[in-house]
Structure 1
Amino acid sequence: MNTVWMTVAAYLIGSISFAVITSKLFGIADPRTYGSKNPGATNVLRSGNKSAAIVTLIGDGAKGWLAVWLAIRYQQQLQVGDATIALVAIAVFLGHLWPVFFRFVGGKGVATALGVLLGLDPWLGLATLATWLVIAFAFRYSSLAALVAALFAPFYYGLLFGVEPQLLAVFVMSGLLIFRHSKNIGNLMAGKESRIGSKSKPAAKAGK
């Protein structure tokens, strides 16, 4: 029973869309209406409001970390196994991708996935983040950096911890993240992908 409510709670935490909430607080357009129409930090950055993008990035990452950290913190008290931790990791990520609070229209999951990895193990998260940073700074494509990091994340986990239930969770997240970037893959191949920091013209003020 604990596994069920922990998984549901994680999904609800993941369903909090910081991109939409932050945009409203900062008085900028809904990120689902411009650019890639993706409610995530990269698209919020296209509004030209760096502060809003940073808050979105931190919020989306923090919810992934919090759900997993709480599950691990209270694992013994609640008498749940590693499989439950894996389910919590997947659930909070699914909440971000398909949030119940926002008509199941969510982001692509990069920041939340990073938060989950940091929650599972700081070194795992830092290794994946380093991979993202190297590719992002070298090519200035957030999507490309996310795809490469997603490919390496399961490898890092296996290298650090071997085959465990959480490894399956990392594989699932990586697969879903790649799936959510299918359009970006096409744009990258066609040379049409937007670079980090590029602005979107329609992103003016909220309500306009």
Structure 2
Amino acid sequence: MYTLIAILLAYLIGSVSFAVVVSHAFGLSDPRTYGSKNPGATNVLRSGHKAAAILTLLGDALKGWFAVWLAQHFSAQFGLDTMALAGVALAVFIGHLWPVFFKFIGGKGVATAAGVLIGIDSWLGLATLATWLIIAYAFRYSSLAALMASLFAPLYYGFLFGPDPMMLAVLIMSGLLIYRHRQNIANLMAGKESKIGSKKK
């Protein structure tokens, strides 16, 4: 029972779309109506409002971290095992992708996944984040950086902890991230992908 409650709560936390909330607070256009139409920090940045993009990034990352931290903090009290924690990690991520509060139209999950990974283990999160930063700095494509980071995250987890239910959750998150970037993959191959910082059209 407690496992199901924890997973449901994590999903609801993940369903808070900070791109939409922050944009509304700053009086900006709904990020689902311009650019890539993705409610995420990269698309909010296309509005030209850097503060809104930063707050979106932090909010989406923090909700991923908070859900995992909350489950870990109360795991002993409510008997949440590794399988339950893995379910929580996956649920908050899925909540971001398909949020119940926004008609199940969510973002691609990069920042939320980063928050989840940091919540699981700081070194895991930092290694994955470093991969994203290196690729993003070198090529200026947020999508390419996200794809590379998603490929390396399960490898980092396996190296640090070996196979377990949480590694399976990380693998599923990585697969979903790649799936959500399928149009970006096509754009990259066609040379049509927008670079970081490009303005909305």
TM-score band, normalised by the shorter chain? over 0.9
Amino acid at match of 2:65: W
Question: What does the per-residue CA deviation read over 1:102-146, in whole Å, with 9 as the maximum and x for residues that have no partner?
Answer: 000000000000000000000000000000000000000000000
Q: Deviations over 1:14-72 (max 9, x none)?
A: 00000000001111100000000000000000000000000000000000000001101
Give the Å deviation of 1:73: 1.0
2:196 maps to amino acid:
I
Provide the C-alpha distance between the structure 2 equivalents of 1:53 and 1:126, rounded to a whole number of angstroms: 21
Structure 1 Cα separation of the partners of residues 143 and 95 of structure 2? 20
- Equivalent position of 1:204 in the other structure: none
TM-score (norm 2): 0.99
Which contiguous aligned blocks of 4+ residues in structure 1 show a shift greater than 2 angstroms? none
| Distance in 1 between residues matched to 2:19 and 2:199, nearest whole Å | 16
State the shift of 1:159 in Å: 0.3
Match of 2:59 in 1: 59
**Matches for 1:93-112 after TM superposition, within 5 Å:** 93-112=93-112
Aligned to 1:24: 24
Aligned-residue offset at 1:162: 0.6
| Alpha-carbon distance between aligned partners in 2 of 1:33 and 1:163, rounded to the nearest angstrom | 41
- In structure 1, how many angstroms separate the alpha carbons of the residues matched to 2:80 and 2:5? 12
What is the aligned partner in structure 2 of residue 115 from structure 1?
A: 115
Alignment of 1:60-139 (within 5 A): 60-139=60-139
Instruction: Determine which structure has greater relative contact order: mean sequence separation of CA pairs < 8 Å that are 6+ residues apart, divided by chain length.
Output: 1
The equivalences for 1:189-208 within 5 A come to 189-201=189-201
Alignment of 1:2-17 (within 5 A): 2-17=2-17
What is the alpha-carbon distance in structure 2 between the residues aligned to residue 81 and residue 162 of structure 1? Answer: 17
- Name the structure 2 match of 1:205: none
- Report the AA paired with residue 58 of structure 1: L
Shift of 1:164: 1.3
For 1:33-52, what aligned pairs fall within 5 Å after superposition?
33-52=33-52
Aligned partners of 1:168, 1:76: CA distance in 2, in Å? 22
Q: Give the TM-score normalised by structure 1.
A: 0.96
Alpha-carbon separation, structure 2, partners of 1:80 and 1:60: 24
Aligned to 1:162: 162
Which residue is equivalent to 1:145? 145
